[in-house]
Structures are given as structure tokens and as C-alpha cells.
Amino acid sequence: MRIRKKKESARAAIEQFLKDNNCEYTVHEEDNSTIIPFDFQAAHFVAALRKQDDCVEVSFPTMATAPVSQLPLVRSKCNDHNNSNILFKFTYSIEHESNEIHVHMSFFNNKIDNETMAHQLKAAFHFQREWQRDFDEAVAIARDSDSIDLESELYKHQREMFLLRRMELRHQFGNNTPNFATGTGTLPLWQLLDTVSPLPESKPLFMTVNTVDGQERINDEQAIRDYDLRHTLVTGKGKQARLTRDYAVLDLHYKQGLDEKPMMTTIALTAEGEDDHSIYTRVTVTQVPRNASRMNSLSNENRQPHSATMLIALDRSDDKQRQQEFEYMWSDAQLKARNGEVNNLDEDQEMLSQVECADVAYNMYWGQQRFNQGRYYEAILHLENVFNSYREDFFEMNNARKHIFMEAAYKLGFCYNELGLYKQAFYYLDLMASDGNIRHTMELVNSMANSKDLRLFSYTEGVMDEIKRNFNQDDELPENIKNFINFLRRRRGYAFIDFNQLDKAEKIFTQMLDEEENADYAINELAYIKRLRQQRDQDTPAQEPEADSDKNSPF
């Protein structure tokens, strides 16, 4: 049985704490509570003790302020911190006289002693700084986007930064296959293979489709190329579409190359459920390694197993509905642009409003939609049409059209990165290597690091040298530039491990152990380095080259 303190003893404990810490305070008795405003370390707090209660609620009534125009952003940051903070509650109110938003923070304390109260009040200052830092960063992002819909723009930026950080791979033992998301509509087998696991100079021989109902053999070459993966487990179209099988395995036999070596690729399909809008199938493509030969040694990529998995979806909507949606959104964006309501458009809508050709606009709209939904394969099919339509007129483009073209290239590179197709990603991302956009640079660096591209070292060195030239040594670097530099350091350390430069990698990650943003990543990589050395000692003990032995090294 819990013994409740009397309000008088709780009040006495609070007052004792305030006296011990030389805090100025007053006491106000109300009908159902006792209110004690007080100052602690130059900040104003209010303690409230209610009758029949054994705890105190302490509030920081004005921990931050913001103009009313930023209300969506204040609401967003309060929600974010309430979701992640179990100790403090974040709320806000609007002061109509000053036309300001006042942000409040509060906590409950049922252990009223000097040590606990002092610790929680000091923690309030820490979380006040965290909230203000996050809010200032969000305001800067929203200002750069020049959008009145601050909350929406912030979410899109945060999602893209999350995806960029997710591509920042960590080393680990084992074979973890990435999980890809892709699109909707008809999906011919050969089209998917040409993107995910290219089969140059290949001629299909036959394919077997193995299901719970038995085995079907397909011998016609064109029928194999056009085989629709989305209907293997599904019957019907549109609203009548439904799952009829839980799994299927396709064995594709073909000849490849000038020597026409027999090859086989296995495609496994499993049902992933359905909702009102779509039916989902997981596709896992595994390419069987080729036999070893003098032209196909054990270190050759053809001798390594290749596997990719992705989620595809068959939409219940039809082409007419998609066309109507596009036409409405395109017309709406153009109308707002003509009426001078650009601030009411997000970046995607603003670019869409500037496209005059209906075919380009259609591909741009659905490319953007699929990209934002993480359906990267279908986004590629649309965005490549936009890229190719604009490419030939590049030198005659105005700045607005160039912006659309470059954004299409960036998103194409992003999509190919998500599919693990780094050579294709580099083709697009290298176009914007020097445009000064941090997102574009991060994606290019991710592509080079994850594909073990030697150009990473000279490229990141050049970027960091440019930052040094643009900021004096005594300048306080903006938060986004600090984060960018840390990202470049982590990527270089990761790449050093891939190129067996363990001493250099260890030096970088050891320096990061005391850095809050980098510590977790550094611990993981240092543990990986330790295991590599242990494994090397057990297998083929060898001395690692001296760190500075090769002055002409690209590292």
C-alpha cells in the first residue's frame, strides 16, 4: 500500500529545496492547489501542488517563443519531442496581445529531495537547448524551401535526410540482402531483370513456373520476356484483383555472352498481403554464379552470387483514374502559379507547374509520387523519360528548366542507389558533383563509398578543402556544415576499411568516440576492424602496410 504525503510535507520539501539553492520564490494558495513561482539559475519556473496529491508538477512556462506564422512548425517540434521524451511534456499557447507562441515544458516529481529536483531542473535546460536547436534548424529548412507549409516541407526534408543516412552502410559480417521497394502496373520479367540484374547479350531458352498447382513450362522467347510478375500470384485487374497463391518460383534458363554459356536465374515470389489500394508481392532474384575459368576467375564478379529482393505492388486503380489524378494536380499547380500563389506550392508542385509538355508532366508527376512513396523502380521508369526529354536542350534551358532536369537526375541517382546499382547511380549523380547542394553531394559520396569507388578519397578531400576555404578557422560553422563534415569523415573511414587501410580507419573512428553524433557509428566500425584483424591472424597472418608507405596512393 502506497503512503501518500500530505500537501504540507510536499510544500515544506519544495520550500526547503528553494532555500538551500538560494532561489527567490513566492507562495499562492488557491482552492485546490498551492502555486509556487520560483527562479532557478536565472530561469523562471512554477511548481504546483494539488490537494490529495503527493507529487509536484513543475513547469517551465516560457522556455521558447516563436511568431504565430510558425505555428505548424512549433506543433511539429512539440509532437516530435513528446514522442521521444518520457520525462518532459512539451505544450504551447498563443499570446494574442504579442501575437507570439509561448512554448512550455513540464514534468512531474514524486520524489522531492534536493538531488532529484536539482537534477531534473538542470535536465530542463538541456532539453530546452535541444528543442531550440531542432526548431532553429527546422526554420532554416523551411525558409530555404520558401514554402508556407512549413510542417510538410520539414517532413519531406527529414525523410530525405533519413534515407541518405540509411544508405550510409555499416560494415557487418554475414550476407544481409537489402530490401527494395518498387512500383505498380504491368511489370515484364525482362524489364525488371535489365534494371536489377542486367543480362547483356542473353537469349532465353525456357522458364518453368512452379506453384502449389503444379509446374508450367514456357518455351516462347517473347512470352518469357513479357511475363508479368505482378499477376503470378494475382488474378483479375482493378477492383476485382485478388491474391490466389501464396508463393511461386520461376527458374529462368538462358544463354549469355558470345560463348553462349548456359546460365540460370531463380525468381522467388511470395505474397505480402493487400489493402484497399494495392496487392503486394515480394520478388527475390538470385543469379547463379558461373563456372570458374581463366577468363572467369574466382575473384570475378560473375563468380559471386548476386541476389536482390524488392516489394512490387499491383494497384487496384486503372490508367484512367491515374490520368485524371495527374490532370487535376497539373492544372491546380499551373493555376496557382498563374495567380501568384507560388508560396502555396511545395517544391514538387512548383516544378510541375513549369512543365508545358503533357507527356513530360505526366512522367514527372508519377515519378515524384513513386519516389516519395519509396517505389524506386517505377520512379526510374518515369524519371528517365523526364531526363531524356530535357537532356538535348540542356544548353538552351533557362534556370527553371535546368533545376527540373538536375532534380530528375538526382532522384534517378538516388533510386539506383537504393537498388544497389551504383554504376548507374554515378552516371546521374556525377552531373551535379559541383553544384554546391549538400544533399546531392551526400548521395554521390554514398554511391562511391558503397560501391568501393577509389574516386571517393580525392573527391571528399576536395570537398573538405573547399569548406576550409569558405570558412575562416575562427568562424563558428553552421550546424548543417558540421553534420556534413562528420558525414564525410564517416564515409572515408568506412572506405578505408574496404580498401584494407585499417590503421587509417581506426584513427578516424577512435577520434569519433567522444563525439555524440559519431560515437555509435564509430563503436560499430572499431568492433568490425577488431574482428577483421582477429580473422586475419587466424587465417593468413600478414603485416598491414605502413600508413604512409606509398606517397602516390589515392588515399
| Contacts with 444 (C-beta within 8 Å, 6 or more apart), sequence order | 413, 426, 429, 430, 432, 433, 459
d(CA 465, CA 159): 29
First to last CA, the chain: 67
pLDDT digits (tens, 9 = 90+) for 266-292: 999 999 888 777 788 888 888 877 655
171 confidence band (pLDDT: 50, 70, 90): low
Identify the CA nearest to 117 among candidates 58, 70, 171: 58
Q: Where are the domains of the chain?
A: 7-162, 179-292+299-316, 320-539
Q: In Å, what is the CA distance from 160 to each residue of 26, 44, 67, 100, 153?
A: 49, 38, 27, 31, 11
Range 7-162 has CATH code 3.30.1460.10: yes
Strands 247-256 and 56-67: unpaired
Is the pLDDT at 545 greater than 80? The verdict is: no
Is the pLDDT at 141 greater than 90? The verdict is: no
C-alpha cell at 98: 504579442
Using CA atoms of 395, 396, 401, 403 in order, give the dihedral in degrees to the nearest 10: 30
Look at the pTM and tell me if it is higher than 0.85. no
pLDDT digits (tens, 9 = 90+) for 290-322: 655 444 444 445 545 667 777 777 888 777 777
What's the average model confidence in pLDDT over 532-537? 87
d(CA 323, CA 164): 31
| Contacts with 179 (C-beta within 8 Å, 6 or more apart), sequence order | 309, 310, 311
Q: 230, 192 in Cβ contact below 8 A?
A: no
Identify the CA nearest to 63 among candidates 36, 90, 35: 90
| Residue 290 Rama label (left phi>0; alpha psi -120 to 50; beta) | beta
**Three-state secondary-structure class, residue 230:** helix
Comparing 43 with 110, which gets the higher pLDDT?
43
- Determine the pLDDT at residue 184: 44
**Three-state secondary-structure class, residue 113:** coil
C-alpha neighbours within 13 Å on the C-beta side of residue 47: 28
pLDDT digits (tens, 9 = 90+) for 377-412: 888 889 999 999 988 888 888 888 888 899 999 999
C-alpha cell at 515: 563525439
C-alpha cell at 307: 541476389
CA-atom Rg of the chain in angstroms:
30
C-alpha neighbours within 13 Å on the C-beta side of residue 381: 18
What type of residue is 215?
Answer: Q
Q: What whole-number percentage of the chain has pLDDT above 70?
A: 81
C-alpha cell at 301: 564478379
Residue 5, Cβ density class (10 Å: 0-12 exposed, 13-18 middle, ≥19 buried): middle
Range 320-539 has CATH code 1.25.40.10: yes
d(CA 83, CA 177): 31
Q: 137, 479 in Cβ contact below 8 A?
A: yes
Comparing 394 with 97, which gets the higher pLDDT?
394
Dihedral over Cα of 221, 222, 223, 228: its sign? positive
Q: 503, 530 in Cβ contact below 8 A?
A: no
- Determine the pLDDT at residue 291: 57
C-alpha cell at 541: 597472418
Is the pLDDT at 513 greater than 70? The verdict is: yes
What's the average model confidence in pLDDT over 472-500? 86
Mean per-residue pLDDT over the chain, rounded: 80
Q: How far is CA 244 from the centre of its chain?
A: 34
Q: In Å, what is the CA distance from 294 to each residue of 231, 305, 430?
A: 42, 18, 34
d(CA 291, CA 272): 34
Highest mean pLDDT (candidates 4-18, 227-241, 404-418, 534-548) = 404-418
d(CA 75, CA 205): 60
